[in-house]
A and B are shown apart, each in its own frame.
Chain A
Amino acid sequence: MSPVSRGFHGRRREPEAEASRVPPGQYATTDFPVLSAGPTPHTALEKWSFSLRRAGDTLKTWTWEEIQDQPAEDVTADIHCVTRWSKLDTRWKAVSIDTLLAQVDHQARFVLAFCDGGYTTNLPLADVTGGQAWLAYGYDGSPLPPEHGGPARLLVPHLYFWKSAKWVRGLDLLATDEPGFWERYGYNNYGDPWREQRYAGD
């Protein structure tokens, strides 16, 4: 039982309809805060590409234009950052990871996303397939801004948002799980916001 904090009433309670969409320990915001471990990379589109790799081999690479040619979806999703803000009904233009994975042969069980700036994050394959994950390059009707991960980021809205790696450049397809950047610094390996898996051991 948590002790009552004398004189604390709280005031950010969400309306009923929103409350059921905000996971425990989170609050809904209309801002779009920015969190990253280092400077924002600025990669020119002509130098940008997205690759699927396995054991050091590149299985397939798409240029920026080739990604634009993939079938895109308009995705509306609620997103949840481990720093406690949630943002409801965010709108993205994105290519399903299913679409990209279908173009290579693989038996991966896990992926490690790699990014400009050296950031990585790990995900089970089951969480980036089945219409649950995208490569997003549009946000709210515009190109995705660099500080929010542009030109393109992962979008995996059912997990805490650090799993939706900014400035993503590809996926390493793995047989065994390998912790990514924040996962090695004490954050949860899986990151389910509904089970409040913020830190290792949660």
Chain B
Amino acid sequence: MAGTAVRGRLTWQVATVGSVTDETTSVRTIELEVPAWAGHRAGQHLDVRLTAEDGYTAERSYSIASAPGEPVMITVERLEDGEVSPYLTEELRAGDEIEIRGPIGGYFVWDGADPSPVLLVAGGSGVVPFRSMLRHRERIDASAPVRLLYSARSPGDVIYRAELDKQPAGVEVIYTLTREQPPGWTGHRGRINAALLGEVAWPAGEHPACYVCGPTPFVETVADTLVSLGYPALQIRTERYGGAGGT
């Protein structure tokens, strides 16, 4: 298996918050000025550490939203019972300093060298690492055709809508809205299922690379369905997030 990531210690460093951009009412993109960033690959994540005045710290991991070579960005969704995400999405502002370390993870990555078709399946803020991949594809002018199937609750919950709607040739973005559709919506409705995946997914015979990112139940369902459509399990890379994992 390729992708060996041997390197020295990942040290914490202080990053300065550049711009912050509200993507939806609960999702914010934060640009970080990182003095010694070693560079990242599309799909990797980084760790954030916050420190309270009494020395208490909290750490979390976030997917990197920007392409390799671009300023480091993370996109954070506010979780109602969260400890770190409400701070990052509501309190943090330009000029603040936070500690980060990274990049982390060498498996859920796409480098763009392989011309095989790519299927990206996102649930909610699971779309974040895919923005890094799509931006990377455009920056390096990669030839691999990409389909992004993106499930969101409502039109207002779609992250990066403007950017996703103007992708270059070779990229198709297919939305499905699960709870609320705008008037005149002609796109897909409801949760991703075998019928929709069968329609959107590249034929298994084309050896597509497949990435699935979202909440655990979403990823379980999509990955199981792709296996049933004939995708080899080893071609399906998954990233699950969220504390709500049931039991």
Asked whether, in the complex, the Cβ of B247 is within 8 Å of the Cβ of A5, the reply is no
Q: Any chain B CB within 8 A of the CB of A74?
A: no
Which residue of A is nearest B247, CB measured?
A32
**Does A184 sit at the interface, judged by CB under 8 A?**
yes
Bound Cα distance A113, B135 (Å): 37
Q: Which secondary structure characterizes the binding site on chain A? A: loop
Q: How far is the CB of A143 from chain B (nearest CB, A)?
A: 12
- Known contacts A9-B52, A29-B243; is A39 also within 8 Å of B106 by CB? no
Chain B CB within 8 A of A117 CB = yes
The contact size tier of chain A is: 35 or more
Asked if A73 CB lies within 8 Å of chain B CBs, one says no
Q: B223, A199: Cβ atoms under 8 Å?
A: no
Which of A11-44 touch B at CB < 8 Å? 11-13, 25, 27, 29, 31-41
Task: Indicate whether A130 reaches chain B with its CB closer than 8 angstroms.
Answer: no
A7 to B59 Cα, complex, angstroms: 16
**Min CB gap B240→A, angstroms:** 6
Interface size class of B (residues with CB under 8 A): 35 or more
A39 with B51: CB separation less than 8 A: no
CB distance from A22 to the nearest CB of B (A): 12
- Taking A37-B238, A38-B233, A201-B10 as known contacts, 18 extra A-B pairs with beta carbons closer than 8 A to each other, sorted by chain A number, are A2-B99, A4-B51, A5-B96, A7-B91, A10-B52, A10-B83, A25-B59, A27-B58, A31-B244, A32-B245, A37-B107, A37-B237, A83-B61, A147-B216, A199-B10, A200-B5, A201-B7, A201-B8
Closest 10 CB pairs of A and B: A201-B9, A39-B223, A185-B106, A33-B245, A186-B5, A2-B51, A5-B50, A10-B56, A12-B83, A34-B216
- List residues of chain B with CB under 8 Å of any chain A CB: 1, 3-10, 12, 14, 49-53, 56-61, 83, 87, 91, 96-99, 104-108, 216, 220, 223-224, 226-227, 233-234, 236-238, 240, 242-247
